[in-house]
Structure formats: C-alpha cells, structure tokens
Amino acid sequence: MKKILLTEDQMPQQWYNVLPDLPTPLAPYLHPETLQPLKPEDLAPMLPQAIIDQEFSSQRWIDIPDPVRDLYRMWRPSPLYRADRLERALDTPARIYFKYEGVSPAGSHKPNTAIPQAFYNAEEGIRRLTTETGAGQWGSALSFAGSLFGLDVVVYMVKTSYEAKPYRRLLMQTWGAEVHPSPTSLTDAGRKILAENPESPGSLGIAISEAIEDALAREDTNFALGSAMNHVVLHQTVIGLEARKQLELVDDYPDVVVGCVGGGSNFAGLTFPFMPDRLSGARPTRFVAAEPAACPTLTRGTYGYDYPDTAKLGPLLPMRTVGHGFVPAPIHAGGLRFHGDAPTLCLLHDQGYVEARAYQQNEVFAEAIRFARSEGFVMAPESSHALRGAVEEALAARESGTPQVILFGLSGHGHFDLAAFDAFLAGELEDFDTNAEEIERALAELPRVPL
C-alpha cells in the first residue's frame, strides 16, 4: 500500500464551481408555492447570504476563507492511497487509487461543507442551526462544525436510525447538539405524519421538512443541508482538487473515477475537478456513480422537478428522482437513501457524462470485507458501493488486459457500522427488490411542472 501525501501548503486555496462549465445551463430552482423561478432572496429566511451567493454563482473559482482553511488543516489534505494489495488480490493490471475522507474528526467527507456552512452562518450573526440526518454522518459533521463556532445545533434524525444507531446520536451529543427522533411532535410537518401513522419510521424527506420549518420559525436560526445543493457540492471539490494533485505526483491520471451517490456531494466533489477535461474532449475519463438498488435514483428515477422534502417546503429542484414520497427499504447505507440527487450531477448524467449502477447490500459488504482484509480500512456501507464499482472496473481491466487507472472515493470509515458487518458475517443481511409499483406510486406525486 502506497500513501501519497500533499503538504498543508498544497491544500487548495479555492473551490471549483462546475456551474459555468456545464454543457447546458442548469434549469432554475422553483419556488415551492408559486412554482416560479426561485429568487436568491427567497432563500434568505434559511441560509446566510454568502451561501446563497455561492448557490447561484457563475464564478469558476471561489476563495476558501482563511478560517475555513485553518480548520480544514485538522485533517486535510487527506491521503490518497494506491491499493496495490487489493490489485494483487484481484489479479488485475489496473492501478487502483482511493481518496480517503475517513480521517476527519466526524469520520467522513461531510465536515468539508459543515465547516464553511457553520463559518458563514456565524459570520452573519446566526446563533442556531437546524438540520436533518439519516444515518447520522451529516448530523455529526454539523454538530462538530457548530461546536467550533459556538453555534447551537438541532438535529432531526430519522427515527429508525435514531433507534438503530445510538452511537451516532451520542457522538452528536458529545459535540453539544440537541438530537430529536423524527417525526417529532415539535413541528407541524412532524405532527401531521404522526397523526397519520404514530409508528412512522421517518424518512430523510420528513426530517428535512421538520428542520426547515424550525429554521423558518426563528430569526436566529438557519437551516443547513448536507448534500445535493450547489454550495455543498462546491465545498466538496477540495476532495477532487487534492486527488488531482496527488495523482500528478505519481504521473497518473484516472481513466475512470467511481463514487457512491446519496445526494451526490462526495461523488461530485471527487469527480467535478476532472470534469472540464472530459467536457473539453481533452481526456476520455469515465465517471461512474454507484447507488443502492433500494434507492435507485439515477438508474430508475425520472428526470424532472421534485421537492427535496415530504412537506414541500424546500425549492423544487431539477433532478433525477424516485419521488419525494418514496421511502426506501431500511438498508445499512443510510446515507444513500435520499430520493433525489444534486441537480448538477443529474444534468451531467442526463447528458451522458456520468454512468450509473445500482448494487445490493450483500455484494457491497462482500467487497468491504475483501478490502478490509487486503488494505486494512473498514469502510462505511455507503463507500462500499463505490468500492464495488471500482472492483467491477478492475475485473473488466483483467478481462481485457488493459492497465486502467481507477480512482474511487472512500467517503468515510465504518466504525459505527459494525452491527451491519455483524449481520453480513452472520449471513443475515437482506437484499431488497425495489418494486416498480412503489416507484411509480411515488412518481405519480411529482409536481406537474415540465423541465
């Protein structure tokens, strides 16, 4: 195993914004009530101005503020590894690299955006942040970032995860956050769901509704989103910018880049810095998005406008979606259960620049175990989807005898997911067939607005 490091000075000074480089302009977001194009000021009740500016920016490079870079230095630049022991285990001529984001205090890539979001909110006088969390990684990242800036953080955590993942909750509470199992009786959105079904397991869409409602109700409170929107994707580009430099150090450039997709932020963060070379025709690099078969957004969803949340409080986003009412099966990769994906990623997928594949949990856990036994790291179930995609590429390279260069994103460690590994090792992990009717039912609820 070879580790490729950058010095702190080599950490990017700017984030890369893909918006001005997209092959066609991104369709506007729409206001959830009027269905008219969203104006930047519509977001002011829930986001700080600096973040709103970034969300709509057409500037290709955006400076990373010094206080944010100082905090990034706690764990950045993150290491890039050559997985030569895995290559040998697979008997492949491919060179496999992975960018490891599990070194952050919260254990995933999410602090890359949690820190700038907390920073800009604190700068603008906000005292309290609300957010949603599924598996708990985003909630922990924001709790960590909030603690650095003295902000109160309130997390609406999907109830099934709250019950299944007590250690994630404890991590958030350790950083000082208030954590509620969602749906709660604290918001109209939550009370409405509970009235229909007191046993509701919750969903990301419901938790987002609760967090937005809470933020809208208070002057001192803003909302922070962990994925999908342009500003989140922007902040995550530190991953790919570093990886590019690290590959340059060993004279390599990827033929294929693979990432897992929940809302698309780590995938976009890793791949977008390579995208201009592909868009200009300078490089034929392929980009492969790996998603769970239980929430098959890119592989089986529809490209159109949809709400980010169940209560329809957030703006309509132009994205590929399985419908805001879709409740995915309870897979262990909780971070991949969002019904839509980042609009920029969906556009690039629609235009043929991004391929997508869906995997079942047993096949991804089998890869995570093989990886742990060859490369040592125990990765998150989410990241294991990217690994599965990378291994498929490496096996194809073996078939064809081509020394492909494969880069994949290892978005987080799996230390809080050992119960899932336990289930896999005991042969008790379920694969889920998502039935077409469920998706169709959820898609029937899409707003009737053409994209």
Ligand X SMILES: *Cc1c(COP(=O)(O)O)cnc(C)c1O
Q: Which is nearer to ligand X, 356 or 380 (CB)?
A: 380
Q: Which is nearer to ligand X, 250 or 419 (CB)?
A: 419
Residue 325, interface with ligand X (CB under 6 A)? no
> H or E segment at 300?
helix 297-300
Both tokens of 3, joined, read 């580790």
Residue 261, interface with ligand X (CB under 6 A)? yes
Q: Which listed residue (214, 382, 393, 417) binds ligand X by CB under 6 A?
A: 382
449/67 Cα distance (integer angstroms): 42
CB of 442 to ligand X, least distance (A): 19
Both tokens of 320, joined, read 């590929």
Residue 335, interface with ligand X (CB under 6 A)? yes
Both tokens of 437, joined, read 């009717």
Q: Which is nearer to ligand X, 246 or 266 (CB)?
A: 266
Q: Looking only at residues 279 through 308 of this chain, which bind ligand X when binding is defined by CB under 6 A?
A: none
Q: Which listed residue (12, 111, 116, 263) binds ligand X by CB under 6 A?
A: 263
231/191 Cα distance (integer angstroms): 31
Is 295:256 a contact under the CB 8 Å cutoff? no
Q: Which is nearer to ligand X, 87 or 240 (CB)?
A: 240
Residue 380, interface with ligand X (CB under 6 A)? yes
Q: Which is nearer to ligand X, 138 or 149 (CB)?
A: 138
**Strand 178-182 with 152-158, pairing:** parallel
Contact segment (CB under 6 A) with ligand X among 87-95, 155-163, 258-266, 430-438 equals 258-266
DSSP states of 396-449:
HHHHHT---EEEEEE-BB-TT-HHHHHHHHTT-PPP-PPPHHHHHHHHTTS-S-
- Three-class SS of 340-360: CCCHHHHHHHHCCCCEEEEEC
Contact segment (CB under 6 A) with ligand X among 184-192, 245-253, 364-372, 379-387 equals 379-387
Q: Looking only at residues 120 through 179 of this chain, which bind ligand X when binding is defined by CB under 6 A?
A: 137-138
To the nearest 10 degrees (0 to 180), the angle between helices 137-149 and 111-123 is 40
Contact segment (CB under 6 A) with ligand X among 68-76, 157-165, 265-273, 356-364 equals 265-273
The residue among 235, 207, 16 whose CA lies nearest residue 120 is 235
Q: Looking only at residues 84 through 123 of this chain, which bind ligand X when binding is defined by CB under 6 A?
A: 108, 110
CA distances 267 to 142, 198, 314, 334, 425, Å, are 19, 36, 23, 16, 28
CB of 409 to ligand X, least distance (A): 8
- What residue has token string 């990242």? 141
Q: Which listed residue (115, 313, 336, 394) binds ligand X by CB under 6 A?
A: 336
How many residues lie near ligand X (CB under 6 A)?
Answer: 20
Residue 265, interface with ligand X (CB under 6 A)? yes
Q: Which is nearer to ligand X, 202 or 335 (CB)?
A: 335
The binding site for ligand X (CB under 6 A) comprises 108, 110, 137-138, 227, 260-267, 335-336, 380, 382-383, 411-412
